[in-house]
Amino acid sequence: MHSSMRFKHGSQIVYENFDNEAVIINLESGSYYSLDKSGAAIWGMIESDVTVGEIVEELVRRYSGQRSDMEVAASRFMNELRQERHHRA
């Protein structure tokens, strides 16, 4: 996934952040997601309309670990969101 890509969710998505967790519901499909601390952080950044590259930079700043692992995790998460959107369309 290119580092300048962004993810835009549709208007049928509602979410709530609770401490270190985010709960996301797709009202159209009925799908329900619960994200852990890093997933909630990524979702919050998506809501701020940042790029994949900016998400990775923030993950590197917040967490210890290999940058390459964070790039893979962020890209995988964004791809899963895109697949869900296209699968339900």
- Reported as a single tens digit per residue, the pLDDT across 20-38 is 788 888 888 788 888 888 8
Mean pLDDT of the chain: 80
pLDDT for the residue numbered 3: 59
pLDDT for the residue numbered 40: 86
Mean per-residue pLDDT, 65-73: 91
* Cα 69 to Cα 85: distance, rounded to the nearest angstrom: 24
Return the domain boundaries, the chain.
13-88
Q: What values do phi and psi take at 23, rounded to 5?
A: -115, 125
What pTM value is reported for the model? 0.72
- Assign 3-class secondary structure to 1-55: CCCCCCCCCCCCEEEEEECCEEEEEECCCCCEEEECHHHHHHHHHHHCCCCHHHH
* 60 or 74, higher pLDDT: 60
pLDDT for the residue numbered 89: 46
